[in-house]
Structure 1
Amino acid sequence: MRSLVFLLEEPSAQDALEGFLPYLLPDGITVKYLVFEGKQDLEKRMTRTLRAWRQPNTRFIVLRDQDSGDCRVVKEGLLERCREAGRENETMVRIACRELEAWFVGDWVAVASAFDNPKLLKLSKKANYRDGPDGLDYPVEELRKHIPQYQKRDGARRIGPYLRKETNASRSFQVFVDAVLHLVAE
């Protein structure tokens, strides 16, 4: 496998992955990002995009926020689109529960480093961040509570390079990392 293509619902996901993936991926893997204009655009266009892809030795990862939907229903809908495109064996679908920012709230070490604010480290000990950041309804609001100037794209750019599986309490982040590692090991 030489190429990983990420189908993403929003630019901030690309911003975070561009910072994080160089730490995770071995040399020799080409990464491409296809960023859509929200979840509806992703869902509308992904079948056609996957079907039209002609580069050999490519694996795909679809990443979408859960938002208020049922995680299993959202994932099954995306998997159905992969089947329609004939790419179900080359594609993994991963859901950021509830939203991408839960990955950041799950790793206050990364957030503290990104914003050069050691006081944020103590938040990693709080139960709702340590035990279940994926269950927070609005993780972006949690970030804004502690970093009033927080903006999604700037935050993703800053935090992405510091994200680590070892320090992240987000289960959906862990599952995402495992999926990426599985695909590059094929």
Structure 2
Amino acid sequence: MSAGSPVNLVVLVEERSADEALRALLPKITPGVAFRIAPFDGKEDLLRKLPHRFREYTYYWRAVNSRVVVLVDRDDDDCLELKAQLSRMAKEAGLPAEAVLFRIVIEELEAWFLGDVPAVHAAYPRVSLDLVKRVKFREPEDVPGGAWEALEHLFQQHGYHKKGLAKMIAARDIAPHMDVENNRSQSFQVFRDGLRRLVSEEN
């Protein structure tokens, strides 16, 4: 690998709605960085296949200056234990720590959307910008009843997603409007900042 060669980013996600969102978000977070997103069929499928994927990436990561990002929902897992499990998989496969980033989405991808009310409003204009002032939505990672359920109920109240929240459609609608510098979701902020460090020349 020659000095100064461009970074190639591989992002592993557990579902296709995250794939849809990141296609719009990654160019805003790390402009000019080439990326490929690999969606899996749920968290269980992702965790089961990770050891094999890590071995593949270990084989060529240095030659092509690749960086690997694993993005998973916390669900009912302990964050520290889940991250330790992921780190152990990477270490056992021989993938160096500086080549991989693990990020746990605290309350599903929908918390990222609720962290950017103007983007939700731009995609679904009947949803008021005043949503951010409501106590229920003040903390995107701590919405009573869960972010997914709250977002579905909110949309249906305003005549959207009447048959249930279509996650891929919502991601496709909202993500292009998102301001990556001003998202109130803490897990999004941690993902954004960690991703930028991962691809920086100093890493």
Whether contact under 8 Å (1:50, 1:82) holds in the other structure is yes
Q: Give the deviation of 1:129 after TM superposition.
A: 2.2
Q: Which residue of 2 aligns with 1:162?
A: 177
Say yes or no: does 1:182 pair with 2:197: yes
The SS at the match of 1:147 is helix
Residue correspondences, number: 183
TM-score under structure 1 normalisation?
Answer: 0.91
Q: Give the deviation of 1:111 after TM superposition.
A: 0.7
The SS at the match of 1:63 is strand
Q: Which moved more, 1:37-46 or 1:67-76?
A: 67-76
The SS at the match of 1:167 is coil
Q: Give the deviation of 1:15 after TM superposition.
A: 0.4
1-side partners of 2:168 and 2:73: how far apart?
15
Percent identical pairs in the alignment equals: 37
Q: Which residue of 2 aligns with 1:62?
A: 70
Q: CA RMSD in A?
A: 1.5
2-side partners of 1:89 and 1:183: how far apart?
7
* Structure 1: tracts of 5 or more residues without a match: none
Q: Which moved more, 1:53-62 or 1:152-161?
A: 53-62
The SS at the match of 2:181 is helix
TM-score under structure 2 normalisation?
Answer: 0.84
Q: Which residue of 2 aligns with 1:50?
A: 54
1-side partners of 2:51 and 2:111: how far apart?
27
The SS at the match of 1:37 is coil
For residue 102 of structure 1, the aligned residue among 99, 103, 111 is 111
Pick the structure with greater CA Rg: 2
1-side partners of 2:51 and 2:169: how far apart?
30
Q: Which residue of 1 aligns with 2:3?
A: none
Aligned residue runs from structure 1 range 95-174, under 5 A: 95-117=104-126, 119-130=127-138, 132-136=139-143, 137-148=145-156, 149=161, 150-174=165-189
The SS at the match of 2:128 is helix
Q: Give the deviation of 1:144 after TM superposition.
A: 1.1
2-side partners of 1:26 and 1:156: how far apart?
20
Whether contact under 8 Å (1:61, 1:92) holds in the other structure is yes
Q: Which moved more, 1:88-97 or 1:48-57?
A: 48-57
Q: Which amino acid aligns with 1:15?
A: E
* Structure 2: tracts of 5 or more residues without a match: 1-5
Measured against aligned partners, the alpha-carbon deviations of 1:143-166 in whole angstroms (never above 9, x if no partner) come to: 111101131110011111122233
1-side partners of 2:47 and 2:166: how far apart?
25
Q: Give the deviation of 1:20 after TM superposition.
A: 1.3
2-side partners of 1:146 and 1:43: how far apart?
32
Q: Which amino acid aligns with 1:17?
A: L
For residue 81 of structure 1, the aligned residue among 76, 89, 98 is 89
Measured against aligned partners, the alpha-carbon deviations of 1:68-122 in whole angstroms (never above 9, x if no partner) come to: 22122222111111112222321010001121111111111111112233x4211
Q: Which moved more, 1:60-69 or 1:48-57?
A: 48-57
